[in-house]
A = this chain, B = another copy of it.
Amino acid sequence: MTKKERILSVALYRFAHEGYNAVSTASIAKEAEVSEGLIFKHFKSKQGLLDTLREELESKMAAKVQPVMEAATAAEALHLVFDLLLNVDPVDFNYWRLQYQLKLNEAYEGHRSAQLYLDRLSWALQESGFPEPEMEAQLLFEIVDSALKRIVFEELPEKEKYIEFLRKKYAP
* Cβ–Cβ contact A142 & B132, under 8 A: no
- CA–CA, A150 to B103, complex, Å? 12
SS class, residues of chain A in contact with chain B: helix
Across the interface, do B19 and A104 meet the contact criterion of CB distance under 8 Å?
Answer: yes
Question: In the assembled complex, which residues on chain B have CB atoms less than 8 Å from the CB atom of A146?
Answer: 142-143, 145-146
Does A88 reach chain B (CB closer than 8 Å)? no
Instruction: Write out the residue numbers on chain B whose beta carbons fall within 8 Å of the beta carbon of A63.
Output: none
Say whether A40 faces chain B, with CB atoms less than 8 Å apart: no
On chain B, the residues within 8 Å of A138 by CB distance are 162
The answer, yes or no, to whether A71 is at the interface (CB within 8 Å) is: no
Residues from chain B with a CB closer than 8 A to the CB of A166 are: 139
Please indicate which of the listed interface residues A18, A22, A104, A165 has the most CB atoms of chain B within 10 Å of its own CB: A104
* A126 within 8 A of partner (CB): no
Contact status A139-B143, CB under 8 Å: yes
- Which single member of B22, B135, B143 contacts A21 (CB below 8 Å)? B22
Q: Which of A124-172 contact B (CB under 8 A)?
A: 132, 135, 138-139, 142-143, 145-147, 150, 161-162, 165-166
| A105, CB-defined interface residue at 8 Å | yes
Give the residue of B101, B145, B161, B162 whose beta carbon is less than 8 angstroms from that of A104: B101
10 residue pairs bridging A and B, Cβ less than 8 Å apart: A100-B104, A101-B104, A104-B104, A132-B165, A135-B161, A135-B162, A142-B147, A143-B143, A145-B146, A146-B146
